[in-house]
Amino acid sequence: MVRMLSVERLVKRRGSREILTDVTFRAAPGRVTGLLGPNGAGKSSTLRILLGLDRADAGTALVDGQPYRRLRQPLRTVGSMLDGSGAHRSRTARNHLTWMARSNGIPTRRVAEVLDQVGLGAVGGTRVGRFSYGMCQRLGLAAALLGEPRALVLDEPVNGLDPEGIRWIRVLLRGHADAGGTVLLSSHLISEVDQIADDLVVIAHGRVVAAGPIREVTAGYPTLEDAFFALTQPVAGGR
């Protein structure tokens, strides 16, 4: 089944400030799509609307043509990770994943499976409050993988990971896309996106400034870094 994520002319205001303006892009199955932009560009806001957490003032964000809020067992369709573990600090990792599994009718055996998969098998009984940043990121990933979803939506997934962890997640996401899954990840780290993404959406000041296969976006620039700064710097005399 196709798992297309599509964002169409999204507008979001906070107070009188427009933080997203006409944001449009797609994340296709079999590809890793990188949402790249400086801090505060609107990456997290876009992903939160796509995941049904926040409301858009205009535009649509759809999973296979449906708003996320209409999905019946969303964890089986879209696995997501926003800031950190997403777990209450006084819970154990296992307890957190167990209530999540229960909420979407996911078999409990998946809890041990994903804990092993992300390398937290030995600390499943430890309270999340005692985890390091890297362990919290791994728990967040375990939660995303819990329902064996075809699509993954990850906000800054490599934050807090050590080099070994970064390599591991790169292999994991590549494998997911190669198996036909959809991966949408955000990052402000140019080199990470360069190594992991097939398609690129560059966002700055709440607007998409470039989108397409990574080679097309970087065409005419020596490196992605050069392309990134050329695309995201405000044009002299512009807004």
Partner 1 sequence: MTFPNTVAAEIRKTATLPATMVALTVAVLGPVAITLINAVGVRAALRSGRPELTAYTSPVEAVFSAVPIGTVGAVVLGVVAVSGEYTANRANIGGGRQITTTLTATPSRLGVLAGKAIAVGLLVAVAALVAIPASLALAGGIIGGDAPPTPDGVLSRSVGAGIYWMLTALTALAVTVFTRNGIAPIIVLVVNSSLVSVSVLLSHLTPLARFLPDLAGMSMFAGDLLAFDEALAPLTGGVVMATWTAGLLALAGAVFRWRDA
**Residues at the interface with partner 1 (CB under 8 A):** 48, 51-55, 68-75, 78, 80, 82-91, 95-96, 98-100, 102-105, 128-129, 131-133, 136-137, 140, 143, 159-160
- Residue closer to partner 1 by CB (options 133, 229) is 133
Alpha-carbon span 97 to 131, nearest angstrom? 15
Cα-Cα end-to-end distance for the chain: 42
- Residue closer to partner 1 by CB (options 145, 217) is 145
The least distance separating partner 1 from the CB of residue 7, rounded to whole angstroms, comes to 17
- Residue closer to partner 1 by CB (options 10, 87) is 87
The whole-angstrom distance between residue 96's C-alpha and the CA centroid of its chain comes to 20
- Residue closer to partner 1 by CB (options 4, 71) is 71
The token pair that represents 61 in the structure block: 């964000």
The least distance separating partner 1 from the CB of residue 143, rounded to whole angstroms, comes to 7
The token pair that represents 154 in the structure block: 């990850």
- Assess contact for 42 and 33: CB atoms under 8 A: no
Alpha-carbon span 98 to 96, nearest angstrom? 5
Alpha-carbon span 180 to 151, nearest angstrom? 9
- Residue closer to partner 1 by CB (options 72, 239) is 72
The least distance separating partner 1 from the CB of residue 88, rounded to whole angstroms, comes to 5
Alpha-carbon span 61 to 144, nearest angstrom? 19
The least distance separating partner 1 from the CB of residue 156, rounded to whole angstroms, comes to 9
The least distance separating partner 1 from the CB of residue 139, rounded to whole angstroms, comes to 10
Q: Nearest 5°: CA angle at 133, between 178 and 99? A: 70
- Residue closer to partner 1 by CB (options 82, 172) is 82
The least distance separating partner 1 from the CB of residue 218, rounded to whole angstroms, comes to 30
DSSP tally for the chain: helices H, then strands E:
8, 10
Alpha-carbon span 239 to 73, nearest angstrom? 42
Which one, of 65, 67, 14, lies nearest residue 42 by Cα?
14
